């Protein structure tokens, strides 16, 4: 039951949570009002949800920075990669690195190559 509850909490946003809480308070039975403990529990869940959303955003930024750092370390290095254009293994020097859709993309011989297509990394070379 806890997994269903936590899955539900992670799917609703802050605005929906506040709307739900306001509706709950509006339509509660005046003869049996919401208990203070229940309200505090819901507010704690809201606070936790907000903190998790913030943490996820920070992790996304951290992973992007990590990918860019890895890519920067590859710039100027000789690599062997699978070219989807040529449909064969090619070699070249990494010209630049960027992050697209959360994945590291390298430019080699003018072609955008994903990190998954790199099969070998050589030493740095001097680019003329």
Q: Are residues 6 and 60 in the same domain?
A: yes
Are 60 and 87 in the same domain? no
Query: Into how many domains does the chain fold?
Result: 2
Sheet containing strand 88-100, edge to edge, reads 111-114, 103-108, 88-100, 77-83, 118-124
Task: Note whether 58 and 87 are same-domain residues.
Answer: no
- What is the pLDDT, as a whole number, of residue 12? 55
pLDDT digits (tens, 9 = 90+) for 31-62: 776 666 776 777 777 778 778 888 888 888 88
Least confident of 4-13, 41-50, 77-86: 4-13
Q: What is the 3-state secondary structure (H, E, C) of 82-108?
A: EECCCCEEEEEEEEEEEEECCEEEEEE
Q: Please determine, for residue 74, whether its predicted confidence score (pLDDT) is greater than 70.
A: yes
Mean pLDDT of 83-98: 88
Is the same domain home to 50 and 95?
A: no
Mean pLDDT on 99-115 = 87
- 3-state helix, strand and coil shares in percent for the chain, rounded to the nearest 5: 50, 30, 20
Range of the domain at 113: 75-124
Report the distance separating Cα 120 and Cα 109, nearest Å. Answer: 16
C-alpha span between 64 and 104 (Å, rounded): 8
In a domain, 69, yes or no: no
Contact 82, 56 (CB under 8 A): no
Query: Are 44 and 81 within 8 A, CB to CB?
Result: no
- Do 60 and 13 lie in one domain? The reply is yes
Same domain, 116 and 93: yes
At residue 3, the pLDDT reads 41
């Amino acid at each position: 039951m806890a997994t269903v509850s936590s899955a539900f909490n992670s799917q609703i946003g802050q605005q929906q949570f506040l709307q739900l809480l306001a509706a709950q308070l509006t339509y509660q039975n005046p003869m049996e009002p919401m208990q203070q403990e229940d309200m505090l529990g819901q507010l704690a869940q809201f606070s936790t949800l907000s903190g998790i959303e913030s943490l996820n955003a920070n992790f996304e930024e951290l992973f992007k920075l990590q990918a860019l750092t890895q890519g920067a370390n590859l710039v100027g290095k000789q690599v062997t990669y699978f070219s989807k254009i040529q449909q064969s293994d090619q070699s070249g020097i990494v010209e630049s690195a960027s992050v697209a859709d959360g994945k590291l993309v390298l430019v080699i011989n003018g072609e955008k190559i994903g990190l998954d297509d790199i099969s070998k990394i050589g030493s740095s070379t001097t680019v003329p």
